[in-house]
Amino acid sequence: MSVFVNQHSKVIFQGFTGEHATFHARDAIRIGTQVVGGVTPGKGGTTHLGLPVFDTVAEAVAATGADVSAVFVPPPFNADALMEAIDAGIKVAVTIADGIPVHDMVRLQRYRIGRDTVIIGPNTPGVITPGECKVGIMPSHIYRKGNIGIVSRSGTLNYEATEQLTALGLGVSTSVGIGGDPVNGTDFVTVLRAFAADPETEVVVMIGEIGGPQEVAAARWAKENIDKPLICFVAGVAAPPGRRMGHAGAIVSNEADTAAAKMDAIEKLGHDVARNPAHIGATVLNAMRERGIAIQ
């Protein structure tokens, strides 16, 4: 098991023939992902990386049975590409782009109502189930298979935590980046709910940052709904208030938005908190030892 994607997922790439899509499609195939084709409007009927290229997602789904899409489409056209994926019945669409206009995401979230596609992102490294399926841009070689579920807003901080886990001999069931934008397709709670239901995930790591109430809300939800340990880190203790720290959503607008306030609140709820970003791995290992969870 795992969440969102696994060895049975049939993956297409939207914007398949672009440079980044090509690079990461190759890497995805290398680790065993079932990449079944791609979509680049105007290039239908050709092949790329030995796989069929289609003009529309609907055609790709009809011909290949794809149920997952990696959306590598530039920001101005990205929301449209996501609606196309939803319309074609894709189950999980992962959108990498950083810079999608917020109003486009507001409209997209409205369009999604009543349709059951999970949208991961935007502004995310994507989702990876090590050894089974990679849908995104993460460096797959740093991930080992295991029993820890990771969910983060930041991509590179997700890699950072993963490297620490791997160095300690720990492994990951699935890693999900929800993205750094203020309006995103999937929130922390949705991912935590999926981890709660996944028998292979025994521990959950949540990595947040300054801005917005979502980390504390998710920690509160976890306290009431999950009996698996949750280990948290929130980036930006050293960030000045009122400044947008890179991510569109990362801004301290009030006292509850600060990293320290969030970590205090999460700790108060009874979860383990790593106060130092370099100690995320060690905090997880401790929590697992204390609870007698197998190191795999």
Partner 1 sequence: MNIHEYQAKELLQSFGVPVPAGGVAFNPTQARQTAEELGGSRWVVKAQIHAGGRGKAGGVKVVDSLDEVKKAAEFLIGRRLVTHQTGPEGSVVHRVWVEQASQIQKEFYLGLVIDRGTQRITVIASSEGGMDIEEVARVTPDQIVREVIDPAIGLRDFQCRKVATAIGLKGKLMPQTVKLMKAIYRCMRDKDALQAEINPLAVVGSGDEARLMVLDAKFVFDDNALYRQKTITEMRDLAEEDPKEVEATGHGLNYIALDGDIGCIVNGAGLAMATLDAISLHGGQPANFLDVGGGASPEKVTHACRIVLEDPNVKCILVNIFAGINRCDWIAKGLIQACNDLSIQVPLVVRLAGTNVEEGRKLLAESGLSFVTAENLDDAADRAAAIVKG
Q: So which residues are the catalytic ones?
A: 247
Which of these segments, 3-11, 85-93, 136-144, 285-293, binds partner 1 (CB under 8 A)? 136-144
To the nearest whole angstrom, how small is the minimum distance from the Cβ of residue 284 to partner 1? Answer: 15
Peptide bond into 240 cis (omega under 30): no
Exposure string of 202-220, with b = 16+ CB inside 10 Å and e = fewer, is bbbbbbbbbbbebbbebbb
Nearest to residue 226, comparing CAs of 189, 273, 274, 257?
Answer: 189
Structure tokens at 126: 């994507």
Please tell me whether residue 101 binds partner 1 under the rule CB under 8 A.
Answer: yes
Nearer to partner 1 by C-beta: 114 or 292?
114
Which of these segments, 7-15, 85-93, 153-161, 196-204, binds partner 1 (CB under 8 A)? 153-161
Please tell me whether residue 87 binds partner 1 under the rule CB under 8 A.
Answer: no
To the nearest whole angstrom, how small is the minimum distance from the Cβ of residue 260 to partner 1? Answer: 10
Around 247, how many Cα atoms within 13 Å sit in the side-chain half-sphere?
Answer: 29
To the nearest whole angstrom, how small is the minimum distance from the Cβ of residue 125 to partner 1? Answer: 5
Distance CA 134, CA 143 (A): 11
Structure tokens at 200: 């292979």
To the nearest whole angstrom, how small is the minimum distance from the Cβ of residue 3 to partner 1? Answer: 20
To the nearest whole angstrom, how small is the minimum distance from the Cβ of residue 262 to partner 1? Answer: 13
> Which x/- pattern, by CB under 8 A, does the window 45-74 give for partner 1?
------------------------------
Nearest to residue 121, comparing CAs of 109, 139, 107, 103?
Answer: 109
Nearest to residue 33, comparing CAs of 52, 6, 72?
Answer: 6
Please tell me whether residue 38 binds partner 1 under the rule CB under 8 A.
Answer: no
- Nearest 10 degrees: Cα torsion 256, 258, 259, 263: -20
* Number of CB atoms found within 10 A of residue 99's CB: 12
Distance CA 235, CA 284 (A): 17
To the nearest whole angstrom, how small is the minimum distance from the Cβ of residue 231 to partner 1? Answer: 15
| Interface residue with partner 1, options 106, 197, 256, 295 (CB under 8 A) | 106
Alpha helix stretches (DSSP H) within the chain: 19-30, 57-64, 75-87, 102-111, 155-167, 188-197, 214-225, 259-268, 280-291
Q: Any idea what the Cα angle at residue 15 is, between residues 11 and 21, rounded to 5°?
A: 70
Please tell me whether residue 261 binds partner 1 under the rule CB under 8 A.
Answer: no
Which of these segments, 58-66, 194-202, 204-212, 284-292, binds partner 1 (CB under 8 A)? 204-212
Nearer to partner 1 by C-beta: 14 or 147?
14
Nearer to partner 1 by C-beta: 45 or 114?
114
| Interface residue with partner 1, options 25, 68, 81, 142 (CB under 8 A) | 142
Please tell me whether residue 109 binds partner 1 under the rule CB under 8 A.
Answer: yes
Size of the site for partner 1 (CB under 8 A): 67
Angle formed by the axes of helices 155-167 and 280-291, nearest 10°: 50
| Contact residues: partner 1, CB under 8 A | 20, 24, 75-76, 96, 98-107, 109-111, 125, 136-139, 142, 152-160, 163-164, 167, 180, 182-183, 207, 209-210, 212-214, 233, 235-240, 242-243, 245-250, 254, 259, 275-279
